[in-house]
Chains A and B, each alone.
Chain A
Amino acid sequence: AIQMTQSPSSLSASVGDRVTITCRASQGIRNDLGWYQQKPGKAPKLLIYAASSLQSGVPSRFSASGSGTDFTLTISSLQPEDYATYYCLQDYNYPHTFGQGTKVDFK
C-alpha cells in the first residue's frame, strides 16, 4: 500500500497566518490526491481534488499544489473556522490511503 506522510502532525497558528501542510507519497501518484478538512465530531469535508482543484463552495484562501510524490495545502490567511484536522487521500491505486492528519490549533 502507498504510504502518505503528512507534516507537521500538528501546528499552532494565529488568525491571519499563512499555513502550509505537506503530504508525501511513498511512490508517485500523479495528481491523484485530495485534501479533506475534519472538525471534531464531524465527517471530513472535501477541499481539494486532483491535487490542486478547489471544490465548489470552498473559500479561495485554500489552495494546493504538487504532483508525483510531494504535495502541499496552503491556507493563505487562517480564519477561526479553519481550526481543524486536515488529511490528504491518495486514490492512485488500491487501497486508497490517508495521511495521518495535521491538526491546526490556536496559537
Chain B
Amino acid sequence: QVQLQESGPGLVKPSQTLSLTCTVSGGSIRSDVYYWTWIRQPAGKGLEWIGRVYTSGSTSYNPSLKSRVTISVDTSKNQFSLKLSSVTAADTATYYCAGGDYVLVNGAYFYRVDVWGQGTTVTVSS
C-alpha cells in the first residue's frame, strides 16, 4: 500500500523559495496509476489545491500560484517535490502531498485522492 511522507524546512524567509519533498513508499512513483498532488491549508482555514504531476512529468497548476510553483518528479529517489518561489506570510500553511488515481465506475473513469501524507507545517517569517 502506497504511503507518503513530506519533508522540508519548517521555516522559510519571505521572498525565498519554499521547497518540500514527498517520499513515496510501498510503491513506485513511476506507476502510471497515480497523479502526485500538493494541497495546502492555512491554520484554521480550508484546503487549497496547488497542483499535480503525472509520472510522465506532465503538470497542472492552480493559476493563483502558477507563476511561482513548480512540481516535479524524481524517479531515482521515488520522490516528488514542490517549489514555491517568492513566498510571503500568506504562504504559511500545512502542506500535504497526496496521490490520486482514476477508477472505473459504470463505464467512466473518476478521480479520487485516496493517499495522503501526514502534512508538514511551513511558516514564512523573517
User: Is B48 an interface position by the 8 A CB rule?
Assistant: yes
Q: Digit string of A55-92 for contact with B (CB within 8 Å is 1, else 0)?
A: 10000000000000000000000000000000101010
User: Interface size on A (CB < 8 Å)?
Assistant: 26
A101 / chain B contacts, CB cutoff of 8 Å: 46-47
Chief secondary structure at chain A's binding surface: loop
A55 touches B63 (CB 8 A): no
Give the residue name and chain of the A residue nearest to B110 (CB): A50
User: Is B54 an interface position by the 8 A CB rule?
Assistant: no
Cα-based distance from A43 to B113 in the complex (angstroms): 12
B63 touches A46 (CB 8 A): no
Indicate the member of A50, A97, A100 with the most B CB atoms within 10 Å: A50
Cα-based distance from A107 to B47 in the complex (angstroms): 25
User: Is A45 an interface position by the 8 A CB rule?
Assistant: yes
A94 / chain B contacts, CB cutoff of 8 Å: 60-62
Bin chain B's interface residue count.
Answer: 20 to 34
* A-B pair number, CB within 8 angstroms: 71
B116 / chain A contacts, CB cutoff of 8 Å: 43-45
A46 / chain B contacts, CB cutoff of 8 Å: 112-114
B119 / chain A contacts, CB cutoff of 8 Å: 42-43
B49 / chain A contacts, CB cutoff of 8 Å: 89, 95-98
- Taking A50-B110, A98-B47, A101-B46 as given, write out 18 further A-B residue pairs in contact, using a Cβ cutoff of 8 Å, ordered by the A residue number: A1-B64, A31-B108, A31-B110, A32-B111, A34-B111, A38-B47, A42-B119, A43-B98, A44-B47, A44-B116, A87-B47, A89-B47, A89-B113, A95-B63, A98-B46, A98-B48, A98-B49, A100-B46
What are the 8 tightest A-B residue pairs by CB atom distance, in nearest-first order?
A: A49-B112, A50-B110, A43-B116, A95-B62, A96-B49, A91-B111, A98-B47, A50-B105
| A residues in contact (CB < 8 Å) with B | 1, 31-32, 34, 36, 38, 42-46, 49-50, 53, 55, 87, 89, 91, 94-101
Interchain Cβ contacts under 8 Å between A and B, 23 examples: A31-B108, A32-B111, A34-B111, A34-B113, A36-B47, A38-B47, A42-B119, A43-B96, A46-B114, A49-B110, A49-B114, A50-B112, A53-B105, A89-B47, A91-B100, A95-B49, A95-B60, A95-B61, A95-B62, A95-B63, A96-B49, A100-B46, A101-B46
